[in-house]
Amino acid sequence: MARVSPAEVEKSLKGIDYPAKKEDLVKHAQKQGADQDVLETLKELPEEDFKSPIDVSKAIGEMKRQ
């Protein structure tokens, strides 16, 4: 998995309405011009509803530990 910082992901998701599904996060990040590493990271998230940016950051942190 690509190494991306939480700040990079948060920047790419600026303005998204929560709760949001994984596919909503990916689409929003694409519209914001996110780089490929951020998009790949978002695509690897579990299929669930994310209630806040904190939920997204936690899920990314858990993926990095696996």
Closest CA to 23 of 11, 2, 5, 31: 31
Q: Whole-angstrom Cα distance, residue 25 to residue 12?
A: 9
- Joined together, the tokens standing for residue 5 give 């910082």
- The runs of H, that is alpha helices, within the chain are 6-12, 22-31, 36-43, 53-65
Closest CA to 28 of 37, 39, 41, 44: 39
Confidence at residue 66, expressed as pLDDT on a 0 to 100 scale: 64
**pLDDT, tens digit, for every residue of 5-64?**
888 999 999 999 999 999 999 999 999 999 999 999 999 999 999 999 999 999 998 887
**pLDDT, tens digit, for every residue of 26-35?**
999 999 999 9
